[in-house]
Structure formats: C-alpha cells, structure tokens
Amino acid sequence: MRIVILGTGAGGGLPQWNCGCPNCEAAREGRIPSMSQSGIAISADGINWALVNASPDLRSQLAANPALRPAGLRGSPIRSVLVTNGDIDHVAGLLTLREGQSFNLFATPAIHDVLAANPMLAVLRPELVMRREIALDQPFGLVEGISATLFAVPGKVPLYLEGETVETGQMGEQTVGVELTSDRSRVYYIPGCATVPDWLKSRIAGADALLLDGTLWTDDEMIRAGLGIKTGRRMGHVPVSGADGSMTALAEVPMQRRIYVHLNNSNPLVDPYSPERASVEAAGWQIGHDGMEITP
Ligand code: MLT
Ligand code: MN
Ligand code: ZN
C-alpha cells in the first residue's frame, strides 16, 4: 500500500490567507514548511489511485505528485474519490475534478445529500462521476487492491449547515473515519474526530498506521491566541495534548506508525523547532508534511 499525504493542513491551510499569527508569518517567510489543506492519495499497485478528501488545494497537490499525472493525452490514474465529511476543506476540490473525467465518488448517504444540495457540483456530470452511497461499517472496494470501511466517529455537521445549537459529539453519517485494508496492511485515516472513545482505541489497536486529527494542540489555543472564539471540541476536533487529549488516549494502544494530520495554523506542532513538536515526536508520533509518503 502507498499513501501520499497530499495536504496536512486543516481548513485554511498554513499560511491562511487572512492570518498574521506567528506560524502563518513564519510559513510566509519560509522559516517553517507551509501546509496545504487536508487529503491523502492511496494506491495498492501504484497505477490506480483513490483520493480520500478533495481539498481546495487539490489542483496544486496533484501537480506536485508525479504518481497522479495523466498517463496519456487525457486521463487520470484517479479512479475514486472518497470524502469523510462535508467540510469545505474536504469537498471543495471536487470542483477541481470537473474536466470530463470519470471516477467514483464515495460518501455516506447523508454526505451525498449535502453534496447533491449544492447546485455547483452538478458540474460533475452523472454519466461520468458515479455517486455511490456507502453504508457505515460495510467494506467496499475503494480502488484496485484496497478495501475501505467507513465508521462513525464523534463529530458534527459541516460548519455551513450548523444551526443555532450544534451537537459536537454526534455519531452518524456526517463525520466518518476510514479503515483502509490491502492484503497486507490495515490503516486508519481519521482527519476529524471530537473525542477518542474506548471503542475507537480497540478498533485501531494493531494497525500498521494511523493518520489522526491533529488540528489543535490545546482545546482553547485559538481563543488564547486571539484568533477565534471557538474551542477545538466545539469545532469537532479533539486536542492533541492534555489529560483528555488524543496523545494520552492512544499512549498504550499498539500500532506501527502514528501520524498527525489536519493541523491548524495555530498549532505549535506545525513548527518543526517547537518544544511541543519535540515532545510529540518523543512519544512516537510523526507530524505529517505535504507530499509525505508512507508504504504501510
Ligand atoms: C474543520 O475541520 O473544522 C473545518 O474544515 C472547518 C472549515 O470548514 O473551515
Ligand atoms: Mn477540516
Ligand atoms: Zn495563522
């Protein structure tokens, strides 16, 4: 199995267009690496590829990755696109895939409803882009040699569908994790997750790799930095640090590789020279970077 992390940033990326925080400034000045928005590409044979999530940065992500270039005059090795929720950072890139190319578009029925309600996505013509509804907990063929299973993780509806009150630990079809298996390996991709319950730890145990929501270091970091009014949990993202953070929750769960993805620009982990980064790496985690390839 080959996985290319196309984008390691959360919504907005690093630097974010309207953010002058120290991390965004450091990225603009080239002192720390930039991060494009969240998504991965996966293949078992190196020929047929699936995307999991389609970020607004997809065009440049595809251009930067030789494995994803067309083999002939027109065409693409991308056979399928799976989206794990309806967030802008995971679906806006579908508009980038509008140039008459055929692929499967996989999502839960609830997410397909959200996509179907967007008239702009009608540009993905039904005779070319097959919208396939995937039930939770049912394995399906994602792409040649790779099977995927969607499972509910604690989350919420997309930002643009939030009503007056928002349930942030909702379990259902709105936010899913993905189990990816080939004949040799089992990998989890969970870019959005509000808490790490015990059942999730049991499920992940023994995995070849985990790519997990690393949006925020602490729950209130955006508030304290003067960048926003929401906590991570309110946004549907478990923090990395702290007694109830994902690092502590998973400390005793065995797996081959653990990698944080979907990092917000406010997160000190995006700075390779930060003490927080050193502490996470000492605990056995890696921080994803754009273009990072793993072969679990
Ligand atoms: C998130 O992960 O919280 C979303 O990407 C927020 C957004 O839509 O910008
Ligand atoms: Mn996001
Ligand atoms: Zn910033």
Atom of ligand 1 nearest to the CA of 192: 2
Architecture of domain 2-292: 4-Layer Sandwich (3.60)
**Cα 88 to ligand 3 centre (Å):** 18
pTM confidence score: 0.98
Q: What is the pLDDT along the chain (296 residues), one digit of tens a residue?
A: 999 999 999 999 999 999 999 999 999 999 999 999 999 999 999 999 999 999 999 999 999 999 999 989 999 999 999 999 999 999 999 999 999 999 999 999 999 999 999 999 999 999 999 999 999 999 999 999 999 999 999 999 999 999 999 999 999 999 999 999 999 999 999 999 999 999 999 999 999 999 999 999 999 999 999 999 999 999 999 999 999 999 999 999 999 999 999 999 999 999 999 999 999 999 999 999 999 999 99
Among protein residues, the one with the nearest Cα to ligand 1's atom 5 is: 11
Query: For strand 2-7 and strand 39-43, is the pairing parallel, antiparallel, or unpaired?
Result: antiparallel
43: β partners: 2
Q: Ligand 1, residues 16, 159, 174: which to mutate, most atoms within 8 A of Cβ?
A: 159
List the residue whose alpha carbon is closest to atom 9 of ligand 1.
Answer: 11
Ligand 1 atom closest to Cα of residue 87: 8
Report the alpha-carbon distance of residue 158 to residue 42 in Å, rounded. Answer: 25
Q: Which residues line ligand 1 (CB under 6 A)?
A: 10-11, 87-89, 159, 192, 235-236
Residue carrying structure tokens 């304290």:
224
Q: Which two tokens stand for residue 182?
A: 């080939």
Alpha-carbon span 148 to 132, nearest angstrom: 13
State the closest ligand 1 atom to the C-alpha of 262, by its place in the atom list counted from 1: 2
Radius of gyration of the chain (CA): 18
What the block records as the tokens of 34 is: 């930039």
d(CA 45, CA 222): 41
Residue boundaries of the structural domains of the chain: 2-292
Q: How far is CA 195 from CA 109, 148, 171, 236, in A?
A: 23, 22, 11, 8
Give me the pLDDT at residue 34, please.
98
